[in-house]
Chain A
């Protein structure tokens, strides 16, 4: 459904949107999706490692290490995700000015890492809850008695074999969160923080495309619909760059929310 929707949008843009603007929309969507996918993958790696680490430290009663890790995790959890991502953008700003990071790919990679640091704890919490649930089951003790190593039980038996669906559901939902965070902070940064950094060097994403003057004018034009509903015909033909960027963001968020929901319902993932 998402592919069909984006395909229809591109078909419409091909007909009514000028070529340079259409190229920008395509590039922005591509960069946003790649960054979102990268953030999800990194979150899985970080969340898996931290979740397993929490569990093992608790099992082995390493109180001080567990307490320290919990302290750091709770601090990250209590800081709003947008603030964490904003701090990452500030650091990116400094690295660009110091010419340590130059290429667009490196900048996009930095953004990806920043977003994944802000969201990986959700994966970690899912993994911890799955490990806690399985800890009480008898087959875990049976495997330990058979001499199977704890790490194999955790990584292969519990997480890979019995929790793949839960993790996949969480990752699908997290993709939407990553897209939302990245677009929002890109929008804020493009509007407020771009004084010292040339916009032409920062990779174009849906958020920064939406923050451009042309796109903001297109979104402002939507308010004409209140006084003149027939203006919708102009909106979908003349104000297409901003409307396309906004549509891509909203449609992606709605679709991935529905995909995550549908997947959870079909696999009956609600509850323990």
Chain B
């Protein structure tokens, strides 16, 4: 008999409480959205009995009311079934013609509205769009998680080196040159200063790019790139809307907060490595920036990283929600047809709020699923550390 995974055995009471809370939330939102959708259907103008009666004629197989031969045959059939009621049969044919005109020239059809409201037949289409949405969301969330840790680590090491700002670095070089020039003849370090200024410019451009709303980036690239492709959407979700920058900043702040704690001084006294020079003997290897598992050896950064990572896990809930917001904005603003959010925009445009409720509920489930996963993961990590 196989043993279940450790993280499923003996869920803690706090996690159980949170899972119950999540389940209650799902039920609450489902009931609220269902109630709204049903009230919308109840208030919608009901199709009259006559309309339904005419629909049954319009849906007859093999009868084309635009074809004169079919119309004549239909008229003769009516006379056969309802003899002596010529006026009634003429009125029926006229009513069918009026219904055809309404069907093909209504205001809804002019907007491209061909559906009649929610029906189970729409579910496979919505499910497929939701699956695509989830794929982009999960890949982007993974990218943000790992990217945020790497960027946060890089920034923290630069901060410990005192080289966080390239402009500050160039000013420091100029000051050192002035001081050195007073004592001996030295050349102005043009190359180093120019390089730092270029780096500062590049950093500014990247920061601007990362903070740009997705629709600005996408429209700027629209004529050069297929903005509806999945890889581009994942990349756009990663680099735009400030999600990655904010996530990396959050991780960086956690590392800084850990660095201020007392155990760091204790670790230093106990001869753990504290140098932050890249690839130095007791420094930080560059490989920490691209390896998933961090083996930092006897370096105090290893403990800072583990503690910060533990505190960063719950922040993924908030980042996940913001990422979903970003993805919805991307799909709506770029009018990417066949995608979940664009479908939601269309349903709102057509006033079919019952279908919109179903789509909103599916997006809600994506966020709720993230919260459940993050809570379970955090609880597993908490028990692993023995809390």
Name A's B-contacting residues (CB within 8 A): 70-72, 74-75, 77-83, 86, 90, 176, 180-181, 183-185, 187-188, 191-193, 195, 210, 216, 219-220, 222-223, 226, 246, 249-250, 253-254, 257, 261, 264, 270-271
Contact = CB atoms under 8 A, between A and B. Distances in A.
Contacts of A220: 219-220, 222-223
Interface residues of B, number: 49
B28 to A, nearest CB: 5
Q: By DSSP majority rule, is chain B's interface helix, strand, loop, or mixed?
A: helix
A78 B211 CA distance: 23
A184 B216 CA distance: 10
14 contacts: A75-B28, A75-B32, A80-B364, A83-B328, A180-B213, A184-B329, A191-B335, A192-B335, A193-B345, A210-B216, A223-B224, A249-B213, A270-B253, A271-B260
B364 A78 contact: yes
A254 B329 CA distance: 19
Contacts of B325: 80-82, 181
A87 to B, nearest CB: 8
A181 B326 CA distance: 10
Contacts of B213: 180, 183-184, 187, 249-250
Interface of B: 21-22, 24-25, 28-29, 32, 111, 207-208, 211-213, 215-216, 219-224, 241-242, 245-246, 249, 253-254, 256-257, 260, 321-322, 324-325, 328-329, 332-333, 335, 345, 348-349, 360, 363-364, 367-368, 371
B21 A74 contact: yes
A226 B220 CA distance: 10
A157 B323 CA distance: 37
A77 B370 CA distance: 12
B21 A80 contact: no
Contact of B220 (A180, A223, A261): A223
Contact of B329 (A188, A261, A270, A271): A188
Given A184-B213, A192-B349, A223-B222, A80 B207 contact: no
B29 to A, nearest CB: 5
Contact of B25 (A71, A193, A226): A71
Given A188-B332, A223-B220, A270-B254, 20 more contacts: A74-B25, A78-B25, A78-B29, A78-B368, A80-B367, A82-B325, A180-B242, A183-B213, A184-B213, A187-B333, A188-B345, A219-B220, A220-B220, A223-B221, A249-B213, A250-B208, A250-B211, A250-B212, A257-B242, A271-B257
Nearest to A89: B348
A21 to B, nearest CB: 18
A246 B207 CA distance: 15
A219 to B, nearest CB: 4
Contact of B241 (A70, A77, A180, A226): A180
A183 B242 CA distance: 14
Contacts of A77: 321
A270 B308 CA distance: 12
Contacts of A270: 253-254, 256-257
Nearest to B246: A257
A264 B211 contact: no
Nearest to A81: B325
A195 B349 contact: yes
Contacts of B329: 82, 184-185, 188
Main secondary structure of the interface of A (DSSP, over half): helix
A226 B328 contact: no
A249 B360 CA distance: 27
Given A75-B29, A78-B25, A220-B219, A257 B211 contact: yes
Contacts of A257: 211, 242, 245-246, 249
A71 B24 contact: yes
Given A184-B333, A193-B348, A270-B254, A81 B321 contact: yes
B333 A191 contact: yes
Contacts of B208: 250, 254
Given A193-B348, A193-B349, A250-B208, A79 B223 contact: no
B254 to A, nearest CB: 7
A81 B371 CA distance: 16
10 tightest A-B contacts by CB?
Answer: A222-B220, A271-B257, A270-B257, A219-B219, A82-B325, A80-B325, A188-B332, A223-B223, A74-B25, A80-B324
B328 A80 contact: yes
A24 B30 CA distance: 43
A82 B331 CA distance: 12
A49 to B, nearest CB: 21
B325 to A, nearest CB: 4
B215 A187 contact: yes
Query: Which residue among B220, B253, B335 has the maximum number of chain A CB atoms within 10 Å of its CB?
Result: B220
B348 A90 contact: yes
Contacts of B29: 75, 78-79
Contacts of A253: 211, 242
A268 B71 CA distance: 83
Contacts of B211: 250, 253-254, 257
The listed residue with most A CB atoms (<10 A of its CB), out of B29, B215, B222, B360, is B215
A271 B307 CA distance: 12
Contacts of A210: 215-216
Given A82-B328, A250-B212, A75 B25 contact: yes
A79 B219 contact: no
A233 B376 CA distance: 54
A78 B348 contact: no
B363 A80 contact: yes
